Amino acid sequence: MTLPITIQEAAAALRAGEISSAELTSAALERIAALNGTVGAFIAVTDDIAMAGAKQADADFAAGVDRGPLQGIPFAIKDLLATKDAPTTANSLILDPAWGAGYDAVAVERIRATGASLLGKLVLSEFAIGAPDATKPFPVPKNPWGLDRTPGGSSSGTGIAVATGMALGGLGTDTGGSVRFPAAYCGHTGLKVTYGRVPKWGCAPLGYTLDSIGPMARSSWDAAAILNAMAGYDPRDPTSSKAPAEDYLAGIEGGVKGLKIGVPVGYFFDHPMLDPEAKSTTLAVIEVLKGLGAEVVEVDLPYSAQAKEANTMTMLTEAFSYHRMDMASRWTDYGSGTRQIIARGAFTSAADYVQAQRFRSYYAKEAAKVMAKVDVLITPTIFEPAQVAANMDLNKRMLSPSYTGPFNLLGYPALAIPSGFSKDGLPLSAQIVGAPFAEALVLRAGHAYQQVTDFHLQVPEIAKQGVVA
């Protein structure tokens, strides 16, 4: 039996009776059993819960109950979000085992209510920051396109699971790019939502004023379906927005004719560290959208290099505020990369933090001027393909450009979509950015591109058995 690789395809097959959720979920569990020991995507696999959910979904279909496109879909949760029927670790020895016990995060509640089949909890960078530490008792995630390469973080397990077909969709979190990096490195789609669009109650924090929970899946259509389930205010999260959520699938077929695309050349396209292939594939995405009727204009988004630094400073300072007591008393329980990065937040003075927030307000005003002239921006998602994990250098990481962090600082929605492959066969990615709460527009642009390309449907060799490529 060939298996669907997108939620859209699987949802149609389930409703046509071509496959059951039990069959789909069983196949996903078989793939997890076969691949997880190699690629390290799952911390915990909840076989019984997944199959019970699948059987309930099939029973609901038989009874004429349809809860939407996620019903019966194999789905997985980043292990930063509480789940009532599985432990939550944040990939760390630090988190109290009682944290999150017996309840679901808001986003998980909402996914569970769709009738999705929940497969288990996914690997991440410890507390959504740092780097894998093989001395700790957690799986080390590996990129399925090259096992020696980084899969990106912090939502690495979600990226791997989607890329290999272990899950058709999953949840990630994004504070500086943590949905978009693994989506880019693993070759699928990931959406960083507007700050406050998805409630964060039940999610361990990294950067209080930056964190977001977003969908990760093969396609823009799939991401829209997941966002439909999660978006909207919840009083348990005081930072969640009361702005009405949309039906993100309703206008997704609207195309890009007449859409004005802004191309911010400075920093995003002329940085000396930008890999030529990352640049050229992003420019090719822009040309495809232009061919579909979009208007393309160059724009200037000034001070974006400084925005990257302000985002990093804000993230590390807020992370340190959360971890300060544990870092003082349990330093070696943290992974080596995690403690090195979070500890940098200790060197930020109150004056530095305030100045970063003053800059943030200024940058937001400059960005709003740009967005008043265009509908979306397009940039590369990553400045280079996935690097060899053993060669990754923390200092280089801190000094490198970030094409994602500035939009966390702004709180804007940003969609990472596959844009092609490097000469070494590694995925590359472009980023579509919108104004606050313009997720529907961003997803529509991504969907239009994915209707005429198939980069998002490419499957790594390690996962091709039983998959429609």
Does residue 26 have a cis bond before it (omega within 30 degrees)? no
Domain ranges of the chain: 7-463
Alpha helices by DSSP H, listed for 165-214, are: 180-186
Sheet-wide strand order for 414-421? 42-45, 117-122, 74-78, 169-174, 212-217, 189-192, 414-421, 427-434, 376-380, 260-264, 295-299
- Residue among 292, 178, 162, 166 at smallest CA distance from 219: 162
Q: How far is CA 234 from CA 82, 110, 199, 226, 436, in A?
A: 16, 11, 6, 17, 18
What fold characterizes domain 7-463?
A: Amidase signature (AS) enzymes (3.90.1300)
At position 156, the amino acid (one-letter code) is S
| Burial class (CB within 10 angstroms; exposed 0-12, middle 13-18, buried 19+) of 134 | exposed
CB 196 within 8 A of CB 411: yes
Mean of pLDDT values over 16-33? 98
pLDDT for 91-133, tens place per residue? 999 999 999 999 999 999 999 999 999 999 999 999 999 889 9
Q: What pLDDT score does 1 carry? A: 59
A 10 A CB-CB count for 223 gives: 33
Q: What pLDDT score does 121 carry? A: 98
- At residue 467, does pLDDT exceed 60? no
Task: Report the percent of the chain where pLDDT is more than 90.
Answer: 96
Q: How far apart are CA 173 and CA 193, in angstroms?
A: 10
pLDDT band, residue 469 (cuts 50/70/90): very low
pLDDT for 252-267, tens place per residue? 999 999 999 999 999 9
Mean of pLDDT values over 370-377? 98
Instruction: List the catalytic residues.
Output: 78, 154, 178
Q: What pLDDT score does 464 carry? A: 85
Q: What pLDDT score does 468 carry? A: 37
pLDDT for 32-75, tens place per residue? 999 999 999 999 999 999 999 999 999 999 999 999 999 999 99
- At residue 393, does pLDDT exceed 90? no
Q: What pLDDT score does 465 carry? A: 59
Mean of pLDDT values over 376-386? 98
Q: How far apart are CA 275 and CA 429, in angstroms?
A: 12
Average pLDDT, the chain: 97
Q: What pLDDT score does 466 carry? A: 43
pTM above 0.95, yes or no: yes
Mean of pLDDT values over 387-416? 93
- Label residue 68 left, alpha or beta by phi (over 0 means left) and psi (-120 to 50 means alpha): left
Q: How far apart are CA 116 and CA 170, in angstroms?
A: 10
pLDDT band, residue 395 (cuts 50/70/90): confident
